């Protein structure tokens, strides 16, 4: 297999990090299995919706591919109209001796498991026995050789008694390409995963919104004056409180939220100075942490929603948070926190602190990144 077609979102309950992690995980799978090209399906812009877009609107594929050259990998937007599929040949037989049945295949661009391939140009074993005196060894196969743009690909399956063991189809409609979910999903914290995660490039239109906010807000002053900038991933929204509250066996979600707020406030008391700036990344800022900052004279920012779709907005926030130079606080159970940690531009002097939402006895710990 020389290419892999990746379905970024297996359903509409998949967010930004899961789609990014499936992309990176598939890169590792491809690298380990000598697959050079990965075709990407559409990106789900907001979890729980049906708002999809071409992945090239989210990923900067040319710049990401430039980085991925070190691994011999190329990512392609599978839904761009420029992707043209061309059938080269369809061969039935063994690796060394086969009959060309391309013309029969092109009539419908599919070979079904119910088709008897021996009715096309005969049984390869009989044909090569009669014409060349050869006894073909090994199983018979049908192999479709094709190109997508300039990338060569093969689809193949075994043939038993003239019939393929599965259907083989090459769909020239790019929107109906045979996409699969990732063979690898989780962040395994391996050097290759973290390397790709740190260097993955996003669409310039998304990044520009984050950079404009950085340059036109108080953030620029703190960067230029080299004063500390702290970043907190504040995961106190109702969905998080209910999900992790149930996991720890708490039915009083209000009490559970109050306990988590206390852990954030304790970190602020111990590690945040009033001459620093603290940026909070969240979608809901109605909590005691923000109230504590306001009432006690700390300088802080809550990021505005610069993108309408939640999981695109998360990318903007991640870029804003990457300016961290003080402490960076995240959640052990959140993939977004780990993505943020690895995307911090300059880790020199940054202290990474992790909170445990499902271990209430633990007040947090330092993490090496």
| Domain range summary for the chain, segments of one domain joined by + | 85-171, 202-367
Predicted local confidence at residue 74, as pLDDT:
93
Cα–Cα distance for residue pair 15/235, rounded to 1 Å: 15
Q: Considering the chain, what is the average pLDDT of its residues?
A: 92
Percent above pLDDT 70 for the chain = 96
Q: Which is it for the CA torsion 31, 36, 41, 45, positive or negative?
A: positive
Question: What pLDDT does 171 receive?
Answer: 61
Is residue 352 within 8 A of residue 342, CB to CB? The reply is no
Instruction: Look at residue 253 and tell me whether its pLDDT is greater than 90.
Output: yes
Residue 94: name the closest of 159, 147, 146 by CA: 159
Q: What is the mean pLDDT of residues 232-240?
A: 95
Q: Which residues contact 345 (CB under 8 A, 6 or more apart)?
A: 322, 323
| 220: its two tokens | 């620029």
Q: Provide the pLDDT for residue 110.
A: 83
> Which of left, alpha, beta for 205 (phi over 0: left; psi -120 to 50: alpha)?
alpha
The structure tokens listed for 122 are 């005969």
Stretch (H or E) spanning 91: strand 85-93
Q: How far apart are CA 44 and CA 19, in angstroms?
A: 8
Q: Give, in order, the Cα–Cα distances in Å from 318 to each of 38, 138, 148, 311, 342.
A: 25, 54, 34, 11, 10
Using CA atoms, how far apart are residues 244 and 319, in angstroms rounded to an integer? 26
Q: Look at residue 321 and give its three-state secondary structure.
A: helix
CATH 3.40.50 assigned to domain 202-367? The reply is yes
Residue with tokens 């609107």: 57
pLDDT above 90: residue 9? yes
Rounded average pLDDT over 209-228 = 97
Using CA of residue 284, residue 218, residue 305, residue 316, what is the dihedral sign?
negative
Closest CA to 37 of 86, 78, 74, 83: 74
Whether the Cβ atoms of residue 91 and residue 100 lie closer than 8 Å to each other: yes
How far is C-alpha 17 from the chain's CA centre? 6
Query: Does the structure show a pLDDT above 70 at 173?
Result: no
pLDDT at 176 over 60: no
Output 182 or 300, whichever has higher pLDDT.
300
């Amino acid at each position: 297999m020389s290419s892999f077609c990746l379905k970024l979102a297996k359903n509409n309950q998949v967010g930004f990090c899961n789609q990014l992690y499936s992309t990176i995980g598939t890169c590792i799978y491809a690298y380990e299995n000598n697959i050079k090209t990965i075709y990407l399906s559409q990106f789900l812009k907001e979890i729980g919706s049906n708002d999809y877009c071409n992945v090239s609107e989210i990923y900067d594929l040319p710049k990401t591919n430039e980085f991925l050259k070190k691994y011999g990998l190329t990512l392609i937007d599978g839904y761009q109209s420029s992707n043209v599929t061309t059938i080269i040949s369809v061969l039935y037989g063994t690796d060394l001796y086969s009959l060309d049945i391309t013309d029969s295949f092109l009539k419908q661009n599919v070979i079904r498991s119910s088709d008897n391939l021996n009715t096309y140009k005969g049984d390869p074993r009989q044909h090569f026995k009669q014409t060349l005196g050869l006894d073909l060894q090994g199983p018979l196969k049908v192999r479709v050789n094709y190109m997508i743009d300039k990338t060569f690909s093969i689809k193949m399956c075994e043939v038993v008694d003239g019939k393929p063991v599965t259907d083989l189809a090459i769909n020239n409609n790019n929107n109906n390409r045979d996409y699969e979910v990732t063979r690898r999903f989780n962040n395994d914290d391996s050097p290759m995963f973290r390397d790709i995660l740190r260097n993955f490039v996003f669409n310039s239109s998304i990044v520009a919104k984050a950079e404009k906010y950085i340059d036109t807000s108080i953030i620029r002053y703190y960067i230029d004056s080299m004063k500390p900038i702290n970043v907190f991933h504040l995961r106190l929204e109702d969905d998080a409180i209910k999900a992790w509250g149930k996991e720890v066996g708490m039915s009083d979600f209000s009490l559970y939220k109050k306990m988590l707020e206390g852990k954030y406030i304790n970190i602020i008391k111990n590690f945040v100075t009033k001459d620093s700036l603290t940026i909070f990344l969240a979608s809901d800022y109605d909590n005691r942490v923000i109230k504590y900052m306001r009432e006690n004279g700390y300088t802080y920012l809550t990021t505005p929603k610069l993108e309408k779709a939640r999981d695109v907005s998360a990318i903007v926030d991640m870029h804003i948070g990457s300016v961290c130079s003080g402490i960076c606080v995240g959640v052990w159970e959140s993939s977004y926190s780990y993505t943020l940690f690895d995307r911090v531009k300059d880790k020199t002097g940054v202290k990474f602190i992790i909170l445990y939402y499902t271990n209430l006895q633990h007040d947090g710990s330092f993490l090496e990144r």
